[in-house]
Structures are given as C-alpha cells and as structure tokens.
Amino acid sequence: DQVLHIVPETLQQVQHLQHLCSTSLLDLWKPLLPEDIWAGHDLHIRVPAPLVQEVKDSLDQHMISYKVLIPDVQELVDQSMPRETSSHRQIPEGYNYTKYNSMEEIYNWMAQIQKSNSELVTQHYLGKTIENRTMYYLQISQPSSNAKKIIWMDCGIHAREWISPAFCQWFVKEILQNYKSDPKIQKFLQNLDLYILPVLNIDGYIYSWEKARLWRKNRSPHMNGTCYGTDLNRNFNSSWGSVGVSYNCSSEIFCGSGPESEPETRAVVQLIEKKKSDILCYLTIHSYGQYILTPYGSTTKPPNNNEELMHVAQEAAAALMGKYGTSYKVGSTSLILYSNSGSSRDWAHMIGIPFSYTFELRDTGTHGFLLPPEQIQPTCEETM
C-alpha cells in the first residue's frame, strides 16, 4: 500500500479526486471526508497495493500531479511495532526462533536451554554420527516421585527439511516459556516426560548448509568414498529393504547396507528400545506436504489400534486447521502417500509404541523445502 500526497489545483481536479475516492473506496487520511477536499489544500490518500497502478494512471490522465508520501505502508507499520523482547530469563537472550539456525547455533542453544531451565531440562548424550559428531536430546521433566510416561519427538532426519529442526526448537521454547503460566502444560508435565531430539541427521544438516541445500541422506561413505549417504528413514528395522527403497547408494532412498547400518539409526534405536515400555507416543517431524501419517508404509494392512490412531490424528489436524486454516491430510502412509519400508515411524509402532506418527509440515509444494522464514512462526504455532 502507498500513501500519496496531492494538491489539487482546479475544481475539475477536485471533482475527479472526490469521484476517485468514493468509487474506489480509497482511504482518505487527510482530509477525512471527500467533501472536504479543496483546491490548494493538501490531500493524503492511502491506496491499497492492487490499486496503486490504476490510481496513478488515472491521476496522470487527468494531469494531477502527486508525490509518494509513503512508498510502503506495511514496512512502516512493522518498524513501529515494539520488538518482542525476550524478557524471559529462561529463554536464551536474543535466540531467534523465526529464522533457520545453523547446527553450531543449535548446539549452543541446547546447552543454554539446559543451563537456564535446569529444574526442567536436562541434555543427554544419544550417540555419535558417522562423521563423529555428538547427538544430544533434551529431556523436559517435572521433578516428581512417580514414574512418568514418555513422548518422544525427533526432527531433522532428512537434511533439507529445515522447518523440522526449527519446529523442535520452537516446541521446546513454547513449553518452557509458558510452563509457569499455562495450566495445560503443567498438567501435561505432571504425567509425561518429553524427549526432544532437535536434529537427528546432524552431518546431513550441516552438509545442506555448507554444500548442497537439497541434500537428504546422512553422510556415510560407500563404494570407496565415491558415493555418500543412506536415507535414515529407510534404515530402520521395519520390513527393511522390502518396498519403496533402492539398494543403490546413488539413490536418495538408499536403505543402507543393512537394517540399522547407520550409527544415527542405532543411537535412536538403542535409547527407544531401552525405554519402550514407558514410551506412549513417537513423533517424527518432516517436511513438506502437510500430512499426519500413521503406520504403515510397508503394507496397507492397518495397525491393530488403527481406529484410535486415526481418531487422535484427525483431532490434531482439526486443531491445527483451527489456527490459520492450514489443512493437513491424515492417513496411513501406504494409502495416502507412497509405499516405503524401514521408516522410523513403522519401527516404533512395531516394537510396541502405541501412538506413532510422521508429521509432514508446510507447505504443499509452492516452496517445498525452501519454506520462507516468515512461515516458521505460523507453521510452528499451528503445529503446536
């Protein structure tokens, strides 16, 4: 939108301007009413963006000269809004959750988060990546004498899906920031522990920042270092290697040399196996597509608790849509997406975790993996 400054000179010009204002419903800033437009007096009108060219053309046609007082109204509005100060002691000062953060930033953030929220958060060692980087997860746990069930969430299993780790960071921030003031969160944490793995495929994530933005797999070397990467989401021991995979390293869906061949996979498996009797829900976050996917990918045979799985997912999708109108499709991977085997979601369900879901976040292909940072906040808010 623009604001134009005009000083009409003749009665004809005044009449034309009055006509323009009322027919195009332009926003008169000065004077307030069309009838108060006078020759020789200042006129300020705000013209909505889609009409700017048309209005200017009309002014030109009638030989009415104008100046652009404000070239971009939105910009001014944004600038005049007070910056959201992270006045919360608990959240690292100045950490930006509405941009994509590098792995180095994420490592620092995890350490900081634990330090400033030590009553609730502990950082745990999970394992090492193939390039020997350390994998950490955050445990959010309210101190209590009773044993609690666990909800596990991992992000960033596929390197190029940057909105996914962004969501994990956002999620942690939301929980911690609102814990004191939100009774729902307190109730949640009374009976549940949250285990969050912000970046599963650390090597891949870094590679997508430094070398190839659209990289997907991890960075394990094959064929004497002439080919790299296993698709970690085809590497789990759930009908491994049976469908929707490639046995060729050069493929993006290469399932690895065997189930759990990758250290990243093994690190996750070890921890989840150990705690599986307490894990209620397994969530793995991807992009894009806007889906909530239930098991299985390797077969169309429904899981034993399919009705309940679907019901919960549908409630989630409805709640999500309630926020910004974003629509998510819900269903089993093999039915609504495509067949694949060796996924972490399938594996989690097969070892007995009752609620296991893959989230595919925004969008539906317009930007795909390159989701603009302005969409980080709304995506995370609605998914929350």
Residue among 326, 324, 325, 383 nearest 358 (CA): 383
Residue in this structure with the two tokens 């006129």, named with its chain if needed: 43
Between 263 and 289, CB nearer to another protein:
289
**Active site amino acids:** 360
The CB density around residue 8, as the number of other CB atoms within 10 Å, is: 23
Number of residues that bind another protein (CB under 8 A): 29
Q: Which amino acid is at 383?
A: T
Segment lying near another protein (by CB under 8 A), choices 14-22, 33-41, 270-278, 359-367: 359-367
Between 94 and 365, CB nearer to another protein:
365
How near is the Cβ of 48 to another protein at its closest, in Å?
A: 13
Per the CB < 8 A criterion, the answer to whether 228 and 220 are in contact is yes
Q: Is 366 in the site for another protein (CB under 8 A)?
A: yes
The CB density around residue 377, as the number of other CB atoms within 10 Å, is: 13
Between 167 and 179, CB nearer to another protein:
167
Q: Is 329 in the site for another protein (CB under 8 A)?
A: no
How near is the Cβ of 94 to another protein at its closest, in Å?
A: 18
The CB density around residue 319, as the number of other CB atoms within 10 Å, is: 12
Between 95 and 100, CB nearer to another protein:
100
Going from the C-alpha of 4 to that of each of 15, 64, 311, 335, the distances in angstroms are 17, 12, 54, 55
Site string for another protein, 239-258 (x = CB under 8 A): -----x-x---xxxx-----
How near is the Cβ of 166 to another protein at its closest, in Å?
A: 11
How near is the Cβ of 256 to another protein at its closest, in Å?
A: 15
Q: Is 95 in the site for another protein (CB under 8 A)?
A: no
Q: Is 53 in the site for another protein (CB under 8 A)?
A: yes
How near is the Cβ of 252 to another protein at its closest, in Å?
A: 4
DSSP state string for 158-208: STT-THHHHHHHHHHHHHHHHTTT-HHHHHHHHHEEEEEES-S-HHHHHHH
Per the CB < 8 A criterion, the answer to whether 143 and 119 are in contact is yes
Segment lying near another protein (by CB under 8 A), choices 116-124, 130-138, 170-178, 331-339: 331-339
Query: Please, what sign has the CA dihedral across residues 120, 121, 122, 125?
Result: positive
Between 286 and 349, CB nearer to another protein:
286
Sole binder of another protein in the list 115, 273, 370, 381 (CB under 8 A): 370
